[in-house]
Structure 1
């Protein structure tokens, strides 16, 4: 009788666990909680009713290609990963808020990186070097003012220059209007392994032809950080080395006197992830799958085909070049770089870079 009773108790606990698990999943069945619930209530609800997911799945690109990882996981498991990203970000922002590390509010004028589409009621915060051009192409097509539904038909230069006038940004609204859209619209953000993004920015702006960046940043970087440069010597700024660029990024005067350009600025400075309650965190490492999820959710997947990640590469992938570039950087500068971008790694659950482990001793990582 005692064994029978214990079996009944065990079976009862199992049924209860299943019911609780289903209830937890139902809380996340939509992108976010109903808009009538305040932002603070969202945080409280997720904190009180959602236990931290038990299974942990690494998304580090060093582990294995994302495509093969997704085949193993399946669509349902990958949906779980998206929800885990949101959960972890909320928890970390709550801790930052409790420690008074973040401001209570952000005015609309600081939200200039968030694109608004009223027809589909969606907001997207763009981050340069995170499929930024292709995502802007999608939002340009959604305006209905382009003569194509093929994103690649819109030239990259035009997307950021002549066509930009067709996009609407959240900083063009009053604080009240912006707050209403933030409360009721779906909100998207895409991020990338931070030091990979930094290298991508360097390659794009200083190795490739980019006259503006050569003139605006290259000349000053060479004059300040290259030995043997004569003050009267004419500087083109088109041959900045990666070491010189890292010197510039880690120099205290850079942040204090001019701040970071959007191509290497922190995610928190561009998109304010602890103030904006994002409904989806996409990652560059799984960009094809995350964007397809968005297109299907907005019911525009038949209208727009997002360019595959490999379709737009004309050179060696930045991810394949990390070690060859970062091994040229002295340990003290690597340590400074890690400290600068550590918050981006933490907020978006990127593991400590494996390529840094080869060059930094554990005591240098702190």
Structure 2
């Protein structure tokens, strides 16, 4: 059994930080600044409408519903192409500034799943429909005795069934380079602070013995006032404030790096090294996955679980204000500095929750 619990090293974080600083200085030259008022939850739709209006194309703002229903397949295809264009332009600027190396070794590509039959690579990011996408790739192996993704238990997907998946870091550099050159490459991302909260809820509010023991005990001992160092700590009641203090503590990066559930997208999937052919977003997951399945010609073989079908609790996006309102301003500012590269690379606007509880981007 191949247990893939990963963290991001200090070297990766330093590189990401340097790239972030340069991208910030160049940002106004090669991308529109994010709007900070009246944002739609569907970021892709809002971005598209803004661009259409900028170019004096008359549009009528539709109600929040399916993106395809709102815009039509042709316009939504434009959104997908725009995502790729914007990412590549930003990476080109980083390369011009000599902040991104042209090549990367296969051993750093352990988050990319390989399927040779359909000639497709998928970089999984925890808390971005990761389990359901792994279910799809497990079904594509032909060894699951099912075509229903939900027939595969979540725990098994990440543990006992993981041995059926192949990852790009298991190949030589030459083999990995050839697959990167010839296979379709997919990545799915999510609003970064929403993903961070989702990780906290999943790993510290719900039952997750590994995370309680591995991280919870240490977080409580270090960041909870009045804790007796000799008392037994279960680590199963970490508060969100304690978790944020852990994330924003410089020693976390310096001493251990970030776990894959809250690591940067750039450190997990290397979007400036891998020329992705498709960027999906969690905010439009149903439409994006439908497009991928049709493009791979497996839409009649596999039915991806709809986003609402797998929810058993309040959606994380509806809980942002409740959780982040309890975080002090200095820590909110630190969170923005930590994750702003992910916002920049994938065109997420300055987060509305920070706009409400902190300040507009320009004053941070």
Give the TM-score, by structure 2 length.
0.83
1:290-337, Cα deviation, whole Å (9 max, x unpaired):
111010011110000000000000000000000000000000000000
Separation of aligned partners in 2, 1:163 and 1:65 = 41
Q: Which runs of 5+ in 2 are unaligned?
A: 1-29, 47-61
Tell me the residue number matched to 2:26: none
Tell me the residue number matched to 1:127: 125
Tell me the residue number matched to 1:115: 113
Tell me the residue number matched to 2:77: 79
- Of residues 337, 342, 354, the one that matches 2:335 is 337
Relative distance call for 1:365 and 1:229 in structure 2 (3 A) is farther
Question: In 2, are the aligned partners of 1:60 and 1:350 still within 8 Å (CA)?
Answer: no
Shift of 1:183: 0.1
Tell me the residue number matched to 2:164: 166
Alignment of 1:228-243 (within 5 A): 228-243=226-241
1:183-224, Cα deviation, whole Å (9 max, x unpaired):
000000000000000000000000000000000000000000
Tell me the residue number matched to 1:271: 269
Separation of aligned partners in 2, 1:65 and 1:345 = 25
1:135-183, Cα deviation, whole Å (9 max, x unpaired):
0000000000010000000000000000000000000000000000000
Q: Structure with the greater relative contact order (CA < 8 A, sep ≥ 6): 1 or 2? A: 2
Separation of aligned partners in 1, 2:110 and 2:294 = 26
Alignment of 1:174-253 (within 5 A): 174-253=172-251
Q: How many residues align?
A: 313
Alignment of 1:33-48 (within 5 A): none
Alignment of 1:265-344 (within 5 A): 265-344=263-342
SS in 1 for 2:92: helix
Q: CA RMSD in A?
A: 1.9
Relative distance call for 1:68 and 1:140 in structure 2 (3 A) is closer
Tell me the residue number matched to 2:42: 61
Relative distance call for 1:65 and 1:165 in structure 2 (3 A) is farther
SS in 1 for 2:113: strand
1:275-303, Cα deviation, whole Å (9 max, x unpaired):
00000000000001111101001111000
Question: In 2, are the aligned partners of 1:335 and 1:364 still within 8 Å (CA)?
Answer: no
Separation of aligned partners in 2, 1:144 and 1:98 = 44
1:5-60, Cα deviation, whole Å (9 max, x unpaired):
xxxxxxxxxxxxxxxxxxxxxxxxxxxxxxxxxxxxxxxxxxxxxx999xx9x764
SS in 1 for 2:258: coil
SS in 2 for 1:67: coil
SS in 2 for 1:124: strand
Question: In 2, are the aligned partners of 1:190 and 1:284 still within 8 Å (CA)?
Answer: yes
SS in 1 for 2:160: coil
In the TM superposition, structure 1's runs of 4+ consecutive aligned residues that sit over 6 Å from their partners are 62-65
Separation of aligned partners in 2, 1:82 and 1:59 = 18
Separation of aligned partners in 2, 1:237 and 1:365 = 36
Question: In 1, are the aligned partners of 2:104 and 2:273 still within 8 Å (CA)?
Answer: yes
Relative distance call for 1:265 and 1:94 in structure 2 (3 A) is same
SS in 2 for 1:232: coil
* Greater radius of gyration (CA): 1
Residue 136 of structure 1 pairs with residue 117 of structure 2:
no
SS in 2 for 1:187: strand
Give the TM-score, by structure 1 length.
0.83
Question: In 1, are the aligned partners of 2:136 and 2:302 still within 8 Å (CA)?
Answer: yes
Question: In 1, are the aligned partners of 2:350 and 2:361 still within 8 Å (CA)?
Answer: no
SS in 1 for 2:259: coil
Separation of aligned partners in 2, 1:337 and 1:265 = 12
1:256-286, Cα deviation, whole Å (9 max, x unpaired):
1100000000000000000000000000000
Question: In 1, are the aligned partners of 2:42 and 2:284 still within 8 Å (CA)?
Answer: no
Relative distance call for 1:94 and 1:364 in structure 2 (3 A) is closer
